[in-house]
Structure formats: structure tokens, C-alpha cells
Chain A
């Protein structure tokens, strides 16, 4: 592939002569692909034909990826900062079994263009200005934090921010050099790097283990006075939530970005025209693909922000591991009153499966909060991550919230 001359020349049209990029009307052009770690790359874009980006640090874009067999849509947090508006980037981890991200890794090179929509999302410190911040992240959950931190470095380098990030091994920690450089430039930046285990390849002097109250207090003694932003896989965020709630932290000052790819990220309008098997393929992938998904991506069907209890929709199995009972060709779902039997991919919610099978279950929040989608389960097991929309007693009586329960094997519902 030949690099277009204006890419090489670093040509950027002046601000005044162009409008900011609008997801619906302009395509994105890849201008760089950067290797971050062994399985993480950053893709840098500019608006096709010139222009600039206007967004809040922490927001995301949705990319249409033209994989063989039909396009899929993937949502990625921008890791770039809006204070450098001429380009925007996403930082992406490829996991085994992923379709979309794997395609990006294999195919996307400078000069190619993609259809994208966005930016969107509410997970941004610009929405919650505070005197002091605590950014807590794990894995690729670091991307919105990086965006916010870079924006601070450019516009308010004296910001008081404690930046804690966790990785599996030292080699998995993203943006490590840049973080250390920023720590030198930002006098009130406290950096806390943590790994689950050391590795032979890298020297490590930081903390090891998983985040807990003792480690948090050790790194950020005044965490209570901080506006907390959290992003990472759902189990990580759930742990953080629990830890903060137990400590009596005022959860109105806690914000999280759902990370871990709820399959409802697929519920863009386009999904409707997908065939059943396509829907299965994409939602199966959703459970295995590393990316940041905000609930705002789902056409405003869920609250823009839930404090203290994010609309969690994490699939039952992280890392693409199929849940027990999954034979490879879908879970069998039976809707007894409607006399409909269908199959769905693991990670699909009962509600999504019902819709695909044209069985009507009333729903409102689709975030496990309002209880509207409560249905009786007469057989089978599900993994449910609700947000208080159902009582333990109701669960004991066999009820589930269809919007946030995913089958772990064959399931029968009384609808």
C-alpha cells in the first residue's frame, strides 16, 4: 500500500476553515497504527477530507467494521484527548476469538477509511468537575482515563488526580512510559501501578495483587475526598463498588464505565436486520472482545449514568470462555406460554433472545433496575447481574429479570 502524500506530509487543514467531525456524515481515515503491547494497538484517525474532532475526554465512538460476512459494529472509547483535536485514536486489545478487533489488527493500515458514529457517552470528568479525582482502571479500562488525563495535562496540569491502574503483568500495563512522563509534568498526579503477578521479562517494583482497601488506602489516603471514575471488566468494577460501599463512600461521587462488552452493545438498529445466526455470531463475539462499551451506546435506552450501581450487563463468562452447558450451537430457550422454542448464543440476554423470537416481554430500563421485565423461570440456570430491580425473595421464587439474565444452559420461561 502506498501512503497518501498528505498523510506523510502531516497536512492538517486549519481550524477555522473546517467543521468538527460528525459521526453521521463523515468517515474516518486511519493515519497511524501503533503497537502498545503484545496484543494491544492504537489506531489513529482523522476526519476524511480534513477537519477536527470535538468531544469530551472519556467519550466513545462506534466503528462499522466491514468484516467478511457482513459488517459488525464495535464501540471503543477514544484514548486520545480532545485538546489535540486534529486526530483521535482508539486503543484496542485483541483477544482470542474476536472478529471485529482481529479484523482491525489484520487489515487496518493508514489510508483506509471506516464509517463511524459518535462521539457519545457521559463518562467524562468534564461532567463532574471536582477538586480531586481518583481514576481506577484495569486492563483496557485505562483508555477513558488516559483520555481524561491527557486532557488535564494539556489544559490543567496542576490537577490533583490519583491514577491507579491494574494489569495482569508489568508487560500488560498500557501507556506506562507516558504515565511516568506525565507524572513528572503534573505536580499533583499520583501514579499507582499494580500488577496481578510479576513476570520474568520485566523488572517490577510496584504493587502486586488485586486492588483492595488496604492497597487503595496505601496509594491514595484521601480517596474519600475524590471524585472517583472507574473502568475495567465488570468483576473488577463490582469489586471496587463493593469495597467503596463497604467503606461507606458516598457513591454519588462514583462513576463507572461499563467495560466488558455487554452484548446489548450490538443492539444498534442494524442488528434488527441480522439473521438469527449473525446475531448469534456477533453477540458471541461480544463476550470475547476487548473493548469499552458504554450503555449510552444503546440509543439512550439506559440511564446515561448510574452512580454507585452501573447498569451491569457483563456476560457470564469473561475472556470468551463458553459458560458451562454451552454446546457450541446455542442455548435452548423455551417460552412456555407462547409455545416458542429458540436458541441463542451464550451471553445473549433472555430479553434479546425473546425479541429475536418475537416473544414479547415488557421492558423499560433494560438495566436490571425497574423490574418491568420480570418473568418466571420454570427450568434452567441463568447468570443475572441486576441493579436492584428484583428482591431476593422473588429470585427465590424463581423470577428473573429478562434484560440482565443470560442463560447458562437450556432455560424455560413462563411467557
Chain B
């Protein structure tokens, strides 16, 4: 049977509250459909404004088959382009990141301006019309220091996300921060497994001794129930919002993104073993309240985040194959903070380096077991795995809607 129908049938017949059929986690053809239906259509978090601080700074990402370069142009605008030369298609930017006055294709040196226009192509015919061969743009938006791209020809509206997240994040000034450290790990598991693991803390007690010193396992915190009945949470929100920091749980009706501020355990203010700040300088002078906890954000399918008073940890998920996923973690600190003086890199990164590695092993074991012919979908915990169910629901709803649209229309699922 045609794989689209196969996927549609399985999405429709799935048992709610249960994990998905094996094919969703292992089948290369399902993976291709995930790319088409999700990754090539949704807004994807790729990196931060502060990573392209100056005109000409760029970084590259690979989304499925699409190499993309993100840069800041000479007017200060952040732009994204398909990283494929208009001559014979070579990748133009071959480095992960860098800085260049112009984008010069390494193959025959076709030279593009930072706005993508082709400036120079050596010894082409006299009537060669350069204006016809600009780099192809990719939709690109930046909000509160987060850069998103969308590969769809007609991207869904970005505004609803910007409106929800901007008030929560803008005070933290991530636009001006700096990346103190970055790590990319490959988890040998389907991207949905990476997410499912992220969306619950059912596994935390048994796996994350370091994180559990500061991060509460309470499902109200990680989950999507809203947390209104949790007195600790509501008190936390009331206090912070009185001080001008939007904090209450807010999720978009599509279920694709939510923001929420969560308290840390006891007096902890940062993800360190001691709970004390890892960075002497505050991340943002604008946020001076004590014990703000962690500002959480997820946006499917690419990012989850924790912003604290002294630093921020941001995560980017990119699929590589049906059974491999790249997870990039960045630690952002005040741009004036000096390593070795204001912070110690080890202390800053220790908890999440450990946690990531633990999660990697969990995901890989999970993937391993799912490959067994004996695997069958199992039930999620209603109490602890509400977040997972919400993610799986979002995923199933998205693919179902897009599979039944028939053509390749690119509507948002919202």
C-alpha cells in the first residue's frame, strides 16, 4: 500500500494514550513523510540572533535535504537562503559558522551579496543576466533572540508564536547574549522519541541525579495541564507577574508551542549542583527579581528551552534519519561575562551535559527496544505523561490534516 495511506490509516486507527506503531519510529519511508509533512512545512528554530552579531556573520543548518545558510546582511537584517549555488548547485557556505563579506561559492567563485543577489560571475556570456540568479530566500523570522526559518513556499503565520513568546522572552535580552558553549549530540533514535522523552519527567528520578537537584519532577511543571491547581506554581506566577514578568502557562490552541515559568526546587536559582548561579553577571539587567525559576518554552518540532536568571539553555532538534536525531544545546550568558572570571564553563554546563547524555542513552535504548518485532504500542501514564500525549496528539493531528489535504497545500494546523 502507498505509504501515505498506510500512515494515514495508522494515525486514524491509533489507540489514544498509547505510543505509536513501530513504523513511525523506524521506517525510512515514514521518515520521508515526516520531512514533507512536518519539517518542510513548520517554522523551525535554527539559532540565535547573537550568533550572527555582525553583518556577514553566518551559520548553516541542514534540514532534511535542505542546506540553509542564515546570516546578517549589511542592513542588520537576519536572512536565510537556500545554501545552493545558482550556477551548478554547489553548497556556497561550507562551514558551520563563519563571517564573510560576501558569499562566494567555492566551486567557481560566483559571488553573492549578503542580500542574496548575484554580484559577480566570472566570464559568463555578455548578455548573462545576473539578476535572474540570486540565492533563493528561505522565510526567516527572529523573535526575542530566536531565529526561525520555514521551508514552505507559503509559510504558516509566524505572528501567533511571536505574540505568545515575545513578552515572556524579551526581558531576558537573548538578542544581546552570547553563546558560552554549544554541544551537538547525535541520538540514535527517531526525532519523535527525542521529543517524547523530553515531554515527561517520569524518567527523571531514575536517570537524572544532577538535574533533579534543582528541577522539580512535578508533572504540573513539565506537562501541559496548565498547573492552575498547583499552589506552588500559581504563587510563583503571581509573584513574578506582579514584578512585571509574564509567567503563567500559555499554550497556543494548535498545541504547537507553549511558554511557562516554573519554580526550581527550594532556593535553587540555576542548574548547578549547588543550585547557586553559574554566572556572576545576570543574563539581563532588566530581570532583577530573585528566584525567577526557569522560563520554559517548547515549539514543535525543533526546540525546548530553559531561561534562568544567570543563563539560558536552548535546545535544537534536527532529524537526520528515521533512527538518528541531532540535538544541539547552547548555553547563553550575558555577552559581557568573561569565562574563567564570571563563570566557570564546567560548572555552567555540567548538569545539562550529564542530563543530555543520560537522555541520549534513554532514547537509544527506547529505539532499540522498539525495533523488536515484539514491540507493540504501550500506554502512557496519565499522571506523568500528559506532555507526551499532547506531543503525540499534535503530531498525529498535523500529519493527518496534511495527509488528507490531498494536494500540497501548506496550511497551518492552527
Contacts and interface: CB of A to CB of B under 8 A. Distances in A.
A389 B101 contact: yes
A294 to B, nearest CB: 14
Interface of B: 54-56, 99-102, 104, 108-109, 111, 113, 119-120, 122-123, 126
Given A300-B123, A304-B126, A365 B101 contact: no
28 contacts: A301-B122, A303-B119, A364-B108, A364-B111, A365-B111, A365-B120, A365-B122, A369-B102, A369-B119, A369-B120, A370-B102, A370-B109, A370-B111, A370-B120, A371-B101, A372-B104, A388-B101, A389-B101, A389-B102, A389-B111, A390-B101, A391-B54, A391-B55, A391-B100, A391-B101, A393-B54, A393-B99, A394-B99
Contacts of A369: 102, 111, 119-120
Contact of B104 (A303, A306, A371): A371
Given A369-B111, A389-B101, 11 more contacts: A300-B123, A301-B123, A365-B120, A369-B119, A370-B119, A388-B101, A388-B102, A389-B102, A391-B54, A391-B55, A394-B101
A367 interface: yes
Interface in A338-373: 364-365, 367, 369-372
Contacts of A372: 104, 109
Nearest to B122: A364
Contacts of B120: 303, 364-365, 367, 369-370
Interface of A: 300-301, 303-304, 306, 364-365, 367, 369-372, 388-391, 393-394
A306 B121 CA distance: 12
Contacts of A371: 100-102, 104, 111
Nearest to A311: B120
Contacts of B109: 364-365, 370, 372
A121 to B, nearest CB: 12
B224 to A, nearest CB: 45
A306 B120 CA distance: 9
B233 to A, nearest CB: 47
Contacts of B56: 391
Contacts of A303: 119-120
A390 B126 CA distance: 27
Contacts of A365: 109, 111, 120, 122
3 pairs of A and B residues whose beta carbons are closest in the complex: A364-B109, A370-B111, A391-B101
B132 to A, nearest CB: 15
A49 B405 CA distance: 77
Contacts of A389: 101-102, 111
A304 B123 CA distance: 9
Nearest to B130: A303
A367 B109 CA distance: 13
Contact of A370 (B99, B104, B123, B126): B104
A365 B111 CA distance: 9
A331 B361 CA distance: 63
A394 B55 CA distance: 13
A306 B54 CA distance: 25
Contacts of A301: 122-123
Contacts of B123: 300-301
Nearest to A367: B120
A302 B120 CA distance: 8
Nearest to A387: B119
Contacts of A391: 54-56, 99-101
Contacts of B113: 388
B199 to A, nearest CB: 42
A128 B184 CA distance: 52
B88 to A, nearest CB: 15
B114 to A, nearest CB: 9
Nearest to B106: A372
A303 B130 CA distance: 10
A187 B28 CA distance: 75
Counting chain B CB atoms within 10 Å of each CB, the highest count among A306, A365, A393 belongs to: A365
A364 B119 CA distance: 12
A238 B282 CA distance: 46
B121 to A, nearest CB: 8
Contacts of A367: 120
Contacts of A388: 101-102, 113
Most chain A CB inside 10 Å of its own CB: which residue of B102, B113, B123: B102
A304 to B, nearest CB: 7
